[in-house]
Amino acid sequence: MRPELNDLLDTARVVALPLATRFRGIEEREALLFEGPNGWSEFSPFVEYGDAESATWLRAAIEFAFGDLPTPLRSSIPVNATVPSVHVDRVAGILKRFDGCRTAKVKVAERGQGLAEDVARVRAVRELLGPEARIRIDANGGWNIDEAERAIHALAEYDLEYVEQPCASVGELVEIRRRTKYMGVPIAADESVRKAADPILVARAGAADILVLKAQPLGGIRRSLDIIEEAGLPVVVSSALDTSVGLSMGAWLASVIPELEYDCGLGTASLLSADVTDAPMQASGGSIDVRRVTPTPRMLDGYAASASRRQWWLERVSRCYEVLAEADASPATM
């Protein structure tokens, strides 16, 4: 049962958290938090997303605060370090923020940068973490097929665990997977799952070896589990630069997946300069705990968004709630 809109708005808190490193082109992460019978939850689609897409994030947030959730199968989740598209001189400092992580995801294909910078960044991570560490790269769909082939060939010597979303479309992923199969580097899909009308298409098309799943964009924990079951591929649970409240949702999802073969991208609280709790979901010994997070009032007050931004988020929740109401009333249109 969907709660009343006022059940969300009455406890809503909107925060603006500074980032330690510019990421996804932003230096501050905004999020709306609210409390339900299960505890606190998070609604934080990126500000450029429209209401139809953002409503799916709201469905996930409502489920986590008010829904019937599956029982966790594990109490901690191994996580990777995340290295943004920074200059090579900053790589060591970023890795130090991820305590005990032996897997690193390195962002590549940043607009305005070239392959030489990507190679230097990945090389630095390999040198710092050593030969036993796992390195995965994430292009966020930033390459065309030829660029992806050239980049994967150049980076393969650093023993890549997988390449995440090298190209934007499912068709391109099919082709780049065919071209690079001889290298033995798996292809993972993120945007082709979470931003697709049919999140299973990438699996049916044979376009990926691994799926990257994020609880909020996919509509929640149970819907993510349905996708996993139907796709039949191994998965990595990742975050969308959430606060620790949102990360607790991702950790819960990871905890209920029967077979979790890969370290998860849920250590991103370390990319924030501040959080909503005194006990953030940061990596310790390479893992995070599976737990609910209750915001610290002092942190909520100290990083409260401006009055105008708070109003913007409250209006956004209200619009997305109406989108959900209309969709639930006409399930054939969903």
> CA 259, CA 73: separation in Å to the nearest integer?
10
> CA 25, CA 155: separation in Å to the nearest integer?
24
Q: Is 27 helix (H, G, I), strand (E, B) or coil?
A: strand
> CA 62, CA 219: separation in Å to the nearest integer?
9
Interhelix angle 145-155/115-129, rounded to 10 degrees, is: 30
Beta strand pairing status for 39-43 and 26-36? antiparallel
Q: Is 190 annotated as a binding residue?
A: yes
Number of residues in the chain: 334
Q: Are 295 and 279 in contact (CB under 8 A)?
A: no
> CA 245, CA 277: separation in Å to the nearest integer?
9
Q: Is 187 helix (H, G, I), strand (E, B) or coil?
A: strand
Catalytic residue among 96, 107, 181, 195: 107
Partners of residue 265 on adjacent β-strands = 238
Query: Is 214 an annotated catalytic residue?
Result: yes
Handedness of CA 112, 116, 121, 122 (dihedral sign): positive
Q: Is residue 232 packed enough to be buried (19+ CB in 10 Å), middle (13-18) or exposed (0-12)?
A: exposed
Query: Is 107 an annotated catalytic residue?
Result: yes
Residue 224 is given by DSSP the state H
Structure tokens of 97? 């923020």
**Catalytic residue set:** 107, 214
Residue stretches of the annotated binding site for Mg(2+) = 138, 164, 190
